[in-house]
């Protein structure tokens, strides 16, 4: 099972994730929480680039490719 939470900053995603984690674990399910971008060494480095205020001039295409690269790394290392 793969569940994704999305939303704006400070809308309660982390709270809902933790509640669902406890609920699923109460049924003996294993739960892995991964943030995006991030979740692996390489993806965390990409996250640092994306969130760095020094890179405000980054073009949209570069940002999209970085997000895609971070996700590909998480899929390869964690989700598969």
Dist CA 62 CA 65 (whole Å)? 5
Dist CA 11 CA 44 (whole Å)? 22
| Nearest-10 crossing angle of helices 60-74, 41-51 | 160
Distance of CA 19 to the CA centre of its chain: 18
Count of all residues that appear for the chain in the document: 80
Tell me what pLDDT residue 1 has: 83
Token duo for residue 60:
């949209």
pLDDT averaged per 10 residues, the chain (length 80): 91 97 98 92 97 95 98 93
Tell me what pLDDT residue 60 has: 97
| pTM, full prediction | 0.77
Strand intervals (E) in the chain: none
């Amino acid at each position: 099972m793969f569940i994704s939470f999305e939303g704006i900053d400070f809308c309660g995603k982390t709270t809902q994730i933790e509640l669902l984690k406890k609920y699923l674990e109460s049924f003996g399910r294993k739960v892995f929480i991964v943030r995006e971008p991030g979740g692996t060494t390489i993806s965390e480095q990409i996250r640092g680039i994306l969130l760095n205020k020094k890179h405000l001039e980054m073009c949209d295409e570069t940002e999209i490719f970085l997000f895609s690269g971070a996700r590909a790394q998480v899929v390869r290392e964690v989700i598969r």
